[in-house]
Amino acid sequence: MLKKNRIKDLHVKNLSQLVDPHSILHHKEDLLAYDCDGFTIHRHLPKAVVFPQNTKEVSSIVKYCNENDLPFLARGAGTGLSGGAIPLNNEVVISLVKMKRLLSVDYENRRAVVEPGFINLRLTNSISEKGYYYAPDPSSQYCCTIGGNVAENAGGAHCLKYGVTTNHILGLEVVLPNGDVIELGKQGIPDEPGYDLLGLLTGSEGTLGIVTKITVRILKNPEAKQTVLAYFDRVEDGSQAVSDIISAGIVPAALEMMDKTAIEGVEAAAFPVGHPRDIEALLLIEVDGISAGIKEQILRILDVCKKQNVREVKVAESEEERARWWANRKTGFGAMGAISPDYLVQDGVIPRSKLPQVLKQINKISEESGLLIANIFHAGDGNLHPLVLFDARKPGETEKALDAGSACLQVCAEAGGTITGEHGVGIEKKEEMRFVFNEDEIQAQTNIREVFNPKNLLNAGKLFPSPSRCAEVKKEMKKIEYF
Amino acid sequence: MLKKNRIKDLHVKNLSQLVDPHSILHHKEDLLAYDCDGFTIHRHLPKAVVFPQNTKEVSSIVKYCNENDLPFLARGAGTGLSGGAIPLNNEVVISLVKMKRLLSVDYENRRAVVEPGFINLRLTNSISEKGYYYAPDPSSQYCCTIGGNVAENAGGAHCLKYGVTTNHILGLEVVLPNGDVIELGKQGIPDEPGYDLLGLLTGSEGTLGIVTKITVRILKNPEAKQTVLAYFDRVEDGSQAVSDIISAGIVPAALEMMDKTAIEGVEAAAFPVGHPRDIEALLLIEVDGISAGIKEQILRILDVCKKQNVREVKVAESEEERARWWANRKTGFGAMGAISPDYLVQDGVIPRSKLPQVLKQINKISEESGLLIANIFHAGDGNLHPLVLFDARKPGETEKALDAGSACLQVCAEAGGTITGEHGVGIEKKEEMRFVFNEDEIQAQTNIREVFNPKNLLNAGKLFPSPSRCAEVKKEMKKIEYF
């Protein structure tokens, strides 16, 4: 970081007055680390990156940007998968990583207050000794921030039973795009009177305001947990087992599936656990709750799996074995690096009953595009993650991968589903919003953006299709034969 | 209902052309039934009441009103408790009771589509044979409509475990205040991409649009249910038992409390079950889920109650006994009629840990006002229902009751809670919104209303404090000594 007197740009100079002198980056070599997030296909340099330490600093930076018509956006750990933190318009990036304190924990009423840069997993680690945890568990939880989770309404494996981020947010302090600060749900009580602005801000992908304080719900650790691993020779049997477990009235804490290609990846990478390479699907199933009844639930799950011709099924015998199975699953996306130079992860949602048909359709897209597609996903809630494997060095292959990813989303939408479950729309899927919304429905949303963000300086060009592109994309939507 | 040729008012005449000839009321004697809802303290006659039969008719009525600057509002069964359906401005009331069809049920993906006038309990009755039910269960569920439930984000006894209405809404068809029709969550998948307009509309108390179709989540019947009734000599012991049950890691399906005055009322009314008259509090506790584990949960609950000096505790021995206990609880508000000519129900929410202190404070309000206050409420989620008993025939007593009710809400707000859990703000609590929101926070909400409802013709004068009254009410807020 360089001294203030070497700053040439007037705006950057002025911004540097608003924060600690070492809390601004503006040289190209420093800015390179901020040209993309977990969606690495688009890269754009920001104008500068500022690191405020408190709400007041955020507010003054935002006020300055607003008054001077400078585009700006907020950034957490930069692990987002849809490009929400990419500075498309040479934005001033407001990095919230220095606002990383756990402000308070109220065990009796089960809530905690954190700053937006606080790491997701750190919350559970901070309260686990007293027997509590924070439920939303994106696979990136060891490094992603809760502020980013709020922006993207992040999910995770255990959201099947416990719900995604929005179900765990009780209050937000928000800096509005004009610099004003409001508190939503300031009493930390669910279902506040008036309009549900808390729900509106959560998952708004950084386009309505910048969150500077978050009150979350914390949960008591379940008394007991049991984890099952089931190997299937046929993906149809695995899918049917998913439906049958839910139909049996069991609500597993997690119900994850991996297909053959995915297994190949995870077994070649950092946490191999010895899954057979010749099966078509595996299920990782966890139940939790009070001890009484857990055993019987496990017996029922084993029974369902057996009825669906499971090849092998086993229950984790120790916490250590369980942790190993989960590490294998949770590092699954990155593991694709072991079998492919590049990958693109998609995030469609479908009604659970359509699982077998949609997986077949994704296979077809894979065959047609000539690209391998691995599937690692939250089967219990129908949240698919097709991982399109490609080699960016080969000319045209990135475009082919993007097309294949988009085709997967179209299949999901046409099966009565949607285009994102937990990764957000960002840049990546904004044109695909047309798969699920018509002109009026997009308009109803951009009208809301205009109320909060009238100059559209905050994170512009995200979440909604470009107006000029709308008609075009609609035309481009090739009719896919679904059944 | 009278013939069209006898209609004198031009607007009413024109409106009558838009619906079936027998689907409009406009004579004073017919309109009297629509001058209030369950909040009977304010009464205002509507201009007319129209009964559309489909979305197109709703849209054309709304378009007509919008073009002719006629105030209008939607009405379901009129069971709302905060005055949300009262035609303050001589509105055209759009009654949705003729739109009462169950349109479809998708058991596999657990959702159903209903029209807004469909009765809440009828949904459960329609699907129970197949083993499913609809969770939100306001005490008025035998007659209230799901459309009204959406408007007020209705709760109910079993919302402790299952969440209020907003947690069960997957999609809405909405007629906007200009007559346009949009679909939110049209795929019926939770957590749609884009802004959460579904959450925004739910609980917006009929001020942003008129819901004409609703996709709800349906749940599989729990395999087992057990219900416990516990009598306490001291209200503090009952409150502590509530906290201890939750702390034990049990999530009861319902955890209800009644105090001495409430017990006196329910025992004098339609469903007496022989509760002792000399106890200070009773708890009605229900657990549900898969059979395995239910028994152990019950044993733990009994244990907690015993540790808190319970006088008597019993488990329902039959479905019939359980149903009797619930009928006694669910008709509790009306039962107040057996001991008082009039009552006013309030709806504050507090952090569970503040239960004993707040109940004490409410007692103090009762003493100071000279009015009895009964408490029947959802103790598990801290949702209090103080029932202020009064006699409207005595001059000044209605005002005294309103003041006492408002004071109860102030106590809740100052204890870190809010002013409504499930009944909505409506007319009744609009000035009390000041207890929890400041000027900017109200403004952020009314800005949103303006996007949807720019002419403020739809249900005006509800939900938010009158601008002119704001400063006044703030001044009026007497400082209550809370601890």
At residue B207, the 3 state secondary structure works out as coil
The whole-number average pLDDT for the span A244-254 is 90
A184, A197 contact by CB (below 8 A): yes
For chain A, the 3-state helix, strand and coil shares in percent, each to the nearest 5, are: 40, 20, 40
Question: Measured between CB atoms, which of B193, B296, B422 is closest to A419?
Answer: B193
pLDDT score, position B8 = 86
State the Cα–Cα distance between residues B291 and B287, nearest whole angstrom.
10
Per-residue burial over B317-346, b = 16 or more CB atoms within 10 Å of its CB, e = otherwise: eeeeebebbbebbbbbbebbeebbebbbbb
Query: Given this model, what pLDDT does residue A476 score?
Result: 42
Q: For the sheet with B48-50, list strands across it.
A: B24-25, B48-50, B92-95, B72-75
How do the domains of chain B map onto residue ranges?
A: 4-95, 102-220, 222-339, 341-483
In sequence order, what E strands does A326-392 have?
342-345, 373-378, 386-390
Handedness of CA B69, B200, A205, A65 (dihedral sign): positive
> Is residue A1's pLDDT more than 80?
no
Return residues 44-103 of B near A (CB < 8 Å): none
CA distance B386 to chain A (A): 18
Query: Which residues lie below 8 Å from residue A365, measured CB to CB, with a gap of 6+?
Result: A373, A404, A407, A408, A411
Which residue of chain A has the CA closest to B355?
A109
Q: What share of chain B is helix, strand, coil (3-state, %, to 5)?
A: 40, 20, 40
Out of A195, A289, A424, closest to residue B204 by CB:
A195
CB under 8 A, 24+ apart: contacts of A19-26: A19/A50, A19/A51, A19/A52, A19/A53, A19/A57, A19/A61, A20/A51, A20/A53, A23/A50, A23/A51, A23/A52, A23/A53, A23/A98, A24/A48, A24/A49, A24/A50, A24/A51, A25/A1, A25/A49, A25/A50, A26/A2
Q: Which amino acid would we find at residue B209? A: G
CA distance B210 to A182: 29
The pLDDT, as a whole number, for residue A5 is: 54
Candidates B109, B199, B442; nearest CB to A353: B109
Select B102-220's CATH number: 3.30.465.10, 3.30.390.50, 2.60.40.10, 3.30.930.10: 3.30.465.10
How many residues does this entry show for chain A? 483
Q: Which of B180, B196, B219 to mutate to test the interface with A (most CBs of A within 10 A)?
A: B196
Q: Retrieve residue A409's tokens.
A: 């989303």
Is the minimum CB–CB distance between A464 and chain B shorter than 8 Å? yes
Rama region for A198: left / alpha / beta (φ>0; ψ in -120 to 50; rest): alpha
Structure tokens at A76: 């957490």
A180–chain B Cβ distance below 8 A for any pair: yes
Per-residue model confidence (pLDDT) at position B322: 97
Two tokens, residue A270: 């950092």
Instruction: Report the gap between the CA of B106 and the closest CA in chain A (Å).
Output: 10
The β-bridge partners of A219 are A133
Exposure of A311 by Cβ count < 10 A (0-12 exposed, 13-18 middle, 19+ buried)?
A: middle
| Same topology between domain A222-339 and domain A341-483 | yes
Residue located via tokens 């000044």: B396
Residue among A216, A434, A417, A153 nearest B195 (CA) = A153
Is the per-residue pLDDT at A290 higher than 90? no
Query: What pLDDT, on the 0 to 100 scale, is given for residue B5?
Result: 54
B293 touches chain A (CB under 8 A): yes
Chain A residues within 8 A of B220 when measuring between CB atoms: 247, 249
With residue A420 as reference, give the H or E element that holds it: none
Cβ <8 Å between B166 and A196: yes
Write the Ramachandran bin of A22: left for phi over 0, alpha for psi from -120 to 50, otherwise beta: alpha
Residue A325, both tokens = 């199975």
Architecture of domain A222-339: 2-Layer Sandwich (3.30)
- Per CB-CB distance under 8 Å, the chain A contacts of B351 are 106, 108-109, 188-189
Cβ(A81)–Cβ(A63) under 8 Å? no
User: Looking at the DSSP assignment, which residues form a beta bridge with residue B281?
Assistant: B232, B259
pLDDT value, residue B247: 85
Taking a C-beta distance cutoff of 8 angstroms, is the pair A111, A124 a contact? no
Using CA coordinates, name the residue in chain A closest to B291: A293
pLDDT for res A473: 40
Assess contact for A379 and A255: CB atoms under 8 A: yes
Cβ distance of A445 and B195 shorter than 8 Å: yes
The DSSP secondary-structure symbol of B129 reads G
Q: What pLDDT, on a 0 to 100 scale, did the predictor assign at position B384? A: 95
CATH number of the A341-483 domain:
3.30.70.2740
The DSSP secondary structure of A200-226, one letter per residue, reads HHTTSTTSS-EEEEEEEE-EEPPSEEE
Q: How high is the mean pLDDT of chain A?
A: 92
C-alpha of B33 from chain center: 20
- Cβ-Cβ contacts under 8 Å, B196 against chain A: 166, 196, 199-200, 202-203
Q: What is the pLDDT of residues A310-338, one digit of tens each?
A: 999 999 999 999 999 999 999 999 999 99
pLDDT bracket for residue A479 (50, 70, 90)? very low
pLDDT digits (tens, 9 = 90+) for A2-31: 444 578 899 999 999 999 988 999 999 999
B342-345: strand order across its sheet: B310-315, B224-232, B281-289, B254-259, B373-378, B386-390, B342-345
pLDDT band at A471 (very low <50, low <70, confident <90, very high): very low
The DSSP letter of residue B198 is: H
Average pLDDT over residues A451-457: 96
Token pair in block for residue A345: 């992860």
CATH 3.40.50.410 holds for A4-95: no
Place A353 in a pLDDT band, splitting at 50, 70 and 90.
confident
Write out pLDDT tens, residues A365-394: 999 999 999 999 999 989 999 999 999 999
Separation of alpha carbons B102 and B100, rounded Å: 7
**B204 neighbors B151 (Cβ within 8 angstroms):** yes
pLDDT tens over chain B, length 483 residues: 444 457 889 999 999 999 998 899 999 999 999 999 999 888 999 999 999 999 999 999 999 999 999 999 999 999 999 999 999 999 999 999 999 999 999 998 899 999 999 999 999 999 999 999 999 999 999 999 999 999 999 999 999 999 999 999 999 999 999 999 999 998 888 788 999 999 999 999 999 999 999 999 999 999 999 999 999 999 999 999 999 998 888 889 999 999 999 999 999 998 999 999 999 999 999 999 888 889 999 999 999 999 999 999 999 999 999 999 999 999 999 999 999 999 999 999 999 889 989 999 999 999 999 999 999 999 998 999 999 999 999 999 999 999 999 999 999 999 999 999 999 999 999 999 999 999 889 999 999 999 999 999 999 999 999 874 434 443 443 333 332
- Please tell me the total number of residues recorded for chain B in this structure: 483
> Any chain B CB within 8 A of the CB of A151?
no
User: In this complex, do A196 and B196 lie within 8 Å of one another by their Cβ atoms?
Assistant: yes
Mean pLDDT of A457-462: 97
Residue in A377, A222, A379 with CA at minimum distance from that of residue A293? A222
User: Is B184 close to A445, i.e. CB distance below 8 A?
Assistant: no
Residues of chain B contacting A250 with CB distance shorter than 8 Å: 290
CA atoms within 13 A on the CB side of B406: 20
Is B189 an interface residue toward A (CB < 8 Å)?
Answer: yes
